[in-house]
């Protein structure tokens, strides 16, 4: 699974990197987060037809940056608590599973990440956390889905009436990635971003790929990351303090 990751870029960097046309949250900016955990607020890139008071402002989907909560809450859910159990969607079942199939068909997004954490079993019951990241220092565009949930207990004019949530699509981790953890996030290559985000794309499954064989590196990090209250750039540092001793994953 993918249960923790780092997303520390500033908003203006994301707007530029993902060629965003519309800043959907102009009055908000999330702080750098080196220990993103489920139920946190995160950035998501999506393509939607912008609306004001229910009226469309465009005749086409516009790429925009939004803030969503990690942990997908399906529209049919009785309450949002289910989201904490739906932080990941397995690629093998995402098109068919009731919680995800409607979002997979038309509500796909990109979740920017500097890298993600996985825990590898070591001696006894201990687990060693690793930070897995692009070898070139760039960003991962993790494949995600988003959904809207309407709170039946809030008034229609309540700004908290609608909750937007997301999930990360995962796949089997093969080769050397698998020795750390058997699952990894799916990513979307840059030249396929537009198709993935377009709600009109009819075969999104064909756009999903695992990270290429030369893209990822990993290094062990401090167990301080185990506690979600710990949050700072030191969490990304190699355990031995030598950034040159990172391990190629392929």
Alpha-carbon torsion (112, 115, 12, 71), positive or negative: positive
What is the Cβ-side half-sphere exposure of residue 47, based on CA atoms within 13 angstroms?
18
Closest CA to 233 of 224, 242, 41: 224
Q: Is the pLDDT of residue 75 over 70?
A: yes
- State how beta strands 162-172 and 88-90 pair: parallel
Q: Is the pLDDT of residue 245 over 50?
A: no
Helix (H, G, I), strand (E, B) or coil at 196: helix
What domains can you pick out in the chain, each with its CATH number?
A: 5-123+137-211 (3.90.1680.10)
Query: Per mean pLDDT, which range of 47-61, 74-88, 108-122 is the poorest?
Result: 47-61
Quote the distance between the C-alpha of residue 178 and its chain's center: 20
Annotated catalytic residues are: 2, 118
Q: Is the pLDDT of residue 250 over 90?
A: no
The answer to whether 184 and 2 are in contact (CB under 8 A) is yes
Q: Which of 64-68, 130-134, 171-175, 240-244 has the highest mean pLDDT?
A: 64-68
How big is the chain, counted in residues? 250
Cα–Cα distance, 65 to 6 (Å, whole number): 18
Q: What is the pLDDT of residue 32?
A: 98
pLDDT digits (tens, 9 = 90+) for 10-20: 999 999 999 99
């Amino acid at each position: 699974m993918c249960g923790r990751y780092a997303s520390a870029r500033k908003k203006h960097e994301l707007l530029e990197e993902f060629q965003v046309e519309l800043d959907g949250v102009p009055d908000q900016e999330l702080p750098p987060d080196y220990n993103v955990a489920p139920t946190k607020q995160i950035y998501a890139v999506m393509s939607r037809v912008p609306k004001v008071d229910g009226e469309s402002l465009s005749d086409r989907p516009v790429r925009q940056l939004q803030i969503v909560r990690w942990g997908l809450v399906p529209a049919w859910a009785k309450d949002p608590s289910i989201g904490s159990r739906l932080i990941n969607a397995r690629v093998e079942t995402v098109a068919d599973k009731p919680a995800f199939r409607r979002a997979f068909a038309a509500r796909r997004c990109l979740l920017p990440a500097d890298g993600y954490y996985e825990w590898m079993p070591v001696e006894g019951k201990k687990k060693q956390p690793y930070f897995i990241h692009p070898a070139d220092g760039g960003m991962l565009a993790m494949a995600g889905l988003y959904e809207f949930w309407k709170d039946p207990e809030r008034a229609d004019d309540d700004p908290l009436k609608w909750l937007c949530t997301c999930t990360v699509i995962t796949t089997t981790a093969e080769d050397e990635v698998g020795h750390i953890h058997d699952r990894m996030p799916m990513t979307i290559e840059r030249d396929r971003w537009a198709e993935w985000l377009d709600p009109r794309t009819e075969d999104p499954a064909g756009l999903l790929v695992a990270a290429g064989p030369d893209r990822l590196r990993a290094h062990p990090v401090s167990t301080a990351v185990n506690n979600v209250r710990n949050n700072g750039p030191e969490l990304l540092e190699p355990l031995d303090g030598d950034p040159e001793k990172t391990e190629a994953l392929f």
